[in-house]
Structure formats: structure tokens, C-alpha cells
């Protein structure tokens, strides 16, 4: 089996590639050609699998339809997972044009390429719980109404709807995975969960004085990314395509995440946390809680990692990273670039 993954260098790309490679897949992915290529997340996979030609990377871009079409013809994949996007909600307000164009141009190119191939290629679209808007405190499932509150969410709704349109119009095997927030030690450091656990590690090792955050009362359904990519794979093994919600069925505030993270190192979080309007979104999503009953019953998918286990996993990893940073600083090999480093 061959899988083609856009967004292979991201958090989900790493966990999905690892899972598929372990299952014997031949994995192909694209990276953007920049002055510096960041493959740090998947470097261990490259070291283990690239010599066997099981993991293959190509220079391409979602906005380059010709390149995408040529790659799909060349690779001839059985499955395509579209994970690539500008994935930070706050950034989508600062750069709405790029957030919309990069995501939407890419999915049009991929769906058109699949439509024109003789081979039946299965397609996975990474949808998002942000599409719901989180205006009311209700449990959300596949039938809930989308009310996007950011350019990021609006672009996700477009891609979600387009996948359904191609599925219904051309008989494509296209699935939408509506994944609620899923985190890990490989989460980008500008996302609030990772921002917190990185700060916990640095504060514990005396490298940081304060952490500034936005809305501490925003509530999210947080799970572990490693569990969620298993759900992606399960969706693609079904006989008929559909749309699926993956969620834990629990919601926790940013404040609760803070408390649990600092509790692990026995530090009073209130001494180190400050808030700023700078980090509040122009249109805040206050509450998200998902219902994965359909995935539970039909796919047999359930989250394996609890909220407390997730927080512990992330803090433990970031304690190790902070300890390494401390050694480098003490040997004048690193200058702190993070917020409020200790003097």
C-alpha cells in the first residue's frame, strides 16, 4: 500500500507516517522548498526508513497544482491524507488571505487529480472542531451545524464541503475527519498547550520567570494526537466513505491544563502566569466538546490517553528539553529567545 501525505512534517504527519510505516506502507510526503527545511519531527523516521525507500519526500507546495498533479501520477498512491494547512487560528486573523488560499487551492488540485485518475484513490481531509464555532455549551457531532468564527475555520468548512461535493458528485472515496483538539510533545510551540508545557520545563529549571497567555477560561476537548491518527487510518479502511468526529467527550479549560501541568512539578502556577489582551482572539471560541459515538460504534475507535496522562506526557518531554537548554546556556552555546528568560 502507498500513502501520500501533505503536511507530513507536522505533528499529525509525524504520528500518521509512523503508524503507516509500522503497518508496512510505503509513505510519500511533500515539503516546501525554503532556505531552511524543517523536518525535525520526522527526522527519526527518515533515519530509520529512507534507505529502504519506504519513506520518500518531495519538494512541492499546495498552491502548485501542476506539481501536485505530477506527483500523484508518479506515486500512484492508494490513499491520500491532506493534513497540510496554515493551522494556527490566531495567525489566520493576521494573514487570512494565505490561510484561505493555501488550504483551498490545495484541496481543489488534489480532488481534481483523484477525479481524473483511473485508479480509485481514497482521500482523507483534515477537518476541525473549530468549524463549529463553539458559541453554546453543547455536545457536537457529525450532524451539528458549522458556525466558523475565524478565517482558519472558514477555510476548513470550504474544504470539508468540497470533499462532500466530490464524494456525492463523482463517487470519490472522500472522508472528513472532524478532529477535536489533539496535542502531543510534537505540537508546535505557539499552540497554548505546548506553550504551557515548554514554560513549565523552563520555569522548573530556572530558565523563565513568567508566561503570558490569553483567555484562561476557553474550554477544549483535548486528546492525544497519537490516538487520533489511528482514527484517521480506520476511516480510510471502511467500505464506504463518511464523515467522522474524533473526540474524548471531556472538555477542560486552559486554566485546568495549567493547573495539571504545574502540579506535575509541584509549582504554584499563579506565581508565574499573567494574561494579556494581545493573546485574545478577535472572535473567541469559548467552548468545544465532541461526541465520537459514531466512531466508537462503527470504527471501534476510542481515545486511549486520558487528559491527565496527556498533560504528564507533554510536561515530561519538555522537562528534558529544558534541561538540555540549561546545559547549552551554561556553556554559552545558546541564548534564550523565549518570553521572560531569567536574568
Residue 86 has pLDDT above 90, yes or no: no
Number of H helices and number of E strands within the chain? 11, 13
pLDDT at 183: 98
Please list, in sequence order, all residues whose beta carbon lies within 8 angstroms of the beta carbon of residue 15, skipping any fewer than 6 positions away: 184, 186, 225, 226, 228, 229
Residue 35 has pLDDT above 60, yes or no: no
Residue 311 placed within a domain = no
Domain containing residue 67: CATH number? 3.40.50.720
Name the domain count of the chain: 1
pLDDT at 87: 61
Residue 333 placed within a domain = no
Residue 81 placed within a domain = yes
Residue 79 placed within a domain = yes
What does the mean pLDDT of the chain come to?
92
Ramachandran angles phi, psi of 338, nearest 5°: -85, 175
pLDDT at 211: 96
What is the residue range of 81's domain? 2-183+222-246
DSSP track, 188-256: -TTSHHHHHHHHHHHHHTT-BS-EEES-TT-EE--EEHHHHHHHHHHHHTSSS--EEEE--S--EEHHH
pLDDT at 85: 72
Q: CA 276 to CA 212: how far, in whole Å?
A: 7
Residue 10 placed within a domain = yes
Looking at the annotation, which residues are catalytic? 128, 130, 152
Among 51-60, 172-181, 299-308, 316-325, the minimum mean pLDDT is found in 51-60
Residue 106 placed within a domain = yes
pLDDT at 91: 66
The 10s digit of each residue's pLDDT in 288-310 is: 999 999 999 999 999 999 999 99
Q: CA 83 to CA 125: how far, in whole Å?
A: 7
**What is the maximum span of the chain, computed from C-alpha positions, in angstroms?**
63
Give the pLDDT band of residue 88 (cuts 50, 70, 90).
Answer: low
DSSP track, 45-87: HHHHHGGGTSEEEEE--TT-HHHHHHHHHHH--SEEEE--S--
Cα distances (Å, whole numbers) of residue 292 to 155, 287, 289: 23, 17, 10
pLDDT at 62: 81
Residue 282 has pLDDT above 90, yes or no: no
Give the pLDDT band of residue 156 (cuts 50, 70, 90).
Answer: very high
Q: Which residues pair with 284 in a beta bridge?
A: none
Mean pLDDT of 189-206: 96
Give the pLDDT band of residue 43 (cuts 50, 70, 90).
Answer: very high
The 10s digit of each residue's pLDDT in 117-133 is: 989 999 999 999 999 99
Residue 99 has pLDDT above 80, yes or no: no
Of 94 and 6, the structure prediction assigns the larger pLDDT to 6
pLDDT at 18: 98
Cα distances (Å, whole numbers) of residue 45 to 231, 252, 334: 21, 33, 27
Could you tell me the end-to-end alpha-carbon distance of the chain, in angstroms, rounded to an integer? 54
Residue 139 placed within a domain = yes
Mean pLDDT of 128-155: 92
The 10s digit of each residue's pLDDT in 100-123 is: 777 777 899 999 999 999 899 999
Of 158 and 84, the structure prediction assigns the larger pLDDT to 158
Q: What is the DSSP letter of 278?
A: G
Residue 227 placed within a domain = yes
Amino acid at each position: 500500500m502507498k500513502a501520500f501525505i501533505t503536511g507530513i512534517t507536522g505533528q499529525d504527519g509525524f504520528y500518521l507516517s509512523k503508524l503507516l510505516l509500522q503497518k508496512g506502507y510505503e509513505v510519500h510526503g511533500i515539503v516546501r522548498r525554503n532556505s531552511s527545511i524543517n523536518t525535525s519531527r520526522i527526522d527519526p523516521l527518515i533515519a530509520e526508513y529512507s534507505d529502504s525507500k519506504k519513506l520518500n519526500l518531495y519538494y512541492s507546495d499546495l498552491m502548485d497544482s501542476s506539481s501536485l498533479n505530477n506527483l500523484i501520477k508518479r506515486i500512484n498512491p492508494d490513499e491520500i491524507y491532506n493534513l497540510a494547512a496554515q493551522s494556527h487560528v490566531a495567525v489566520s486573523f493576521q494573514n487570512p488571505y494565505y490561510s484561505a488560499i493555501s488550504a483551498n487551492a490545495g484541496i481543489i488540485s488534489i480532488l481534481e487529480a483523484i477525479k481524473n485518475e483511473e485508479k480509485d484513490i481514497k482521500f482523507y481531509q483534515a477537518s476541525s472542531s473549530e468549524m463549529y464555532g463553539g458559541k453554546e455549551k453543547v455536545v457536537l457531532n457529525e450532524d451539528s451545524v458549522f458556525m466558523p468564527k475565524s478565517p482558519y475555520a472558514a477555510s476548513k468548512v470550504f474544504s470539508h464541503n468540497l470533499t462532500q461535493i466530490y464524494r456525492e458528485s463523482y463517487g470519490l472515496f472522500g472522508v472528513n475527519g472532524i478532529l477535536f483538539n489533539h496535542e502531543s510533545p510534537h505540537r508546535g510551540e505557539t499552540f497554548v498547550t505546548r506553550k504551557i508545557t515548554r514554560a513549565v520545563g523552563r520555569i522548573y529549571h530556572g530558565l523563565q520567570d513568567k508566561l503570558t497567555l490569553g483567555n484562561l477560561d476557553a474550554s477544549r476537548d483535548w486528546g492525544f494526537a497519537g490516538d487520533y491518527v489511528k482514527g484517521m487510518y480506520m476511516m480510510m479502511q471502511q467500505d464506504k466513505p463518511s464523515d467522522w468526529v474524533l473526540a474524548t467527550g471531556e472538555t477542560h479549560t486552559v486554566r485546568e491544563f495549567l493547573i495539571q501541568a504545574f502540579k506535575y512539578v509541584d509549582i504554584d502556577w499563579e506565581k508565574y502566569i499573567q494574561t494579556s489582551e494581545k493573546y485574545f482572539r478577535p472572535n473567541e471560541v469559548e467552548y468545544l466538546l465532541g461526541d465520537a459515538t459514531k466512531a466508537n460504534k462503527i470504527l471501534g475507535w476510542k481515545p486511549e490517553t486520558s487528559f491527565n496522562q496527556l498533560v504528564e506526557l507533554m510536561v515530561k518531554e519538555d522537562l528534558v528539553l529544558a534541561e538540555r537548554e540549561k546545559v547549552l546556556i551554561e556553556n554559552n552555546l545558546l541564548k534564550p529567545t523565549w518570553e521572560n528568560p531569567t536574568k
